Amino acid sequence: MGLAATSSCWIGTSWKMTKTLAEARRYAAGLAETLQARPELTDAVQAFVIPPHTALAEVDRQLQHVQAQVLLGAQNAHWEDAGAWTGEISVPQAADAGARLIEIGHSERREHFGETVEITALKVRAALRHGLRPLLCVGEPASVRDADEAEEFILAQVRGALAGLDSAQLARVLVAYEPIWAIGEHGRPATAQELAAPFAALDRAYGAQVEAVLYGGSVNQDNAAELLEIPGVDGLFVGRSAWGLDGYLELLKIGASHGRAHRGRLDG
């Protein structure tokens, strides 16, 4: 699992629609400086950062000496390579700006921008066609969870987006399970107990095939360690708690100690 053979856990953040260019530059410069001074922070962690499109190239520039430690991602990209698609950017354009990963199907994109399962499938293929990793986000609304249909719902989202991929393609896909009711400032953090069944279902169906399965939704410095212990969770995808550099570094520390302990268990 992971980019490097030693990676035990993925810790990443999407900045969503936040940060000016100057703020993005400051964060990325600070991250690069810290990772160069303390490379052990990513010994057992694959870090990733997903800025808004406007900051991609600048963040890429700031992270150039720590590229092996931090993957740069884009929050969205169109499935066509180029053309008359006003307001969109393509996977080759995102890659040109430095992205090596494309976030696809976040619940905010599904809800506000009409991103359907069919569209997520097109975007997954576009990312793979250009050698980038798709980070497919799935998750159910509260009503589906209350009806006890969460597993079925998220497996259908994953199945639809990944249909027809061969094993080499699947091995480059990241899946993030983010229950909609747990995301954002109106979200309620999910408990480890609530997450056990969906992760067991994802693990059974895709755990051995995809590169990693992550958890996202109100992750913070207090619950991260416990969330990482849930069977089937290979890492965390974080919004608000990682928008400040100190918050993200704290989460990397938690990931690193989880990774080391996990490796210790494997060694022992």
Q: Helix or strand or coil: residue 123?
A: helix
Q: Compute, in degrees rounded to 10, the torsion defined by CA atoms 20, 116, 150, 166.
A: -100
Query: 121 phi and psi, to 5 degrees?
Result: -65, -40
Which residue of 179, 207, 239, 255 would you call a contact of ligand PGA, by CB under 6 A? 239
**Site stretch for ligand PGA (CB under 6 A), options 27-35, 79-87, 176-184, 202-210:** 176-184
Q: Answer yes or no whether residue 178 interacts with ligand PGA by CB under 6 A.
A: yes
Name every residue whose Cβ is closer than 8 Å to that of residue 12 and which is 6 or more positions away in sequence: 47, 48, 49, 50, 71, 73, 135, 214, 235, 236, 237, 238
Name which of residues 4 to 23 contact ligand PGA (CB under 6 A): 14
If one asks whether residue 63 binds ligand PGA (CB under 6 A), the answer comes out as no
How near is the Cβ of 90 to ligand PGA at its closest, in Å? Answer: 23
Positions 105 through 144 that interact with ligand PGA (CB under 6 A) = none
Asked if 179 interacts with ligand PGA (CB under 6 A), we say no
Which of 165, 213 has the CB closer to ligand PGA? 213
For residues 215 and 234, what is the distance between their CA atoms, to the nearest angstrom? 8
Q: Which is nearer to ligand PGA, 165 or 210 (CB)?
A: 210
Per-residue binding string, ligand PGA, 212-231, x by CB under 6 A, is ----xxxx------------
Angle in degrees, CA 120, 126, 131, rounded to 5: 125
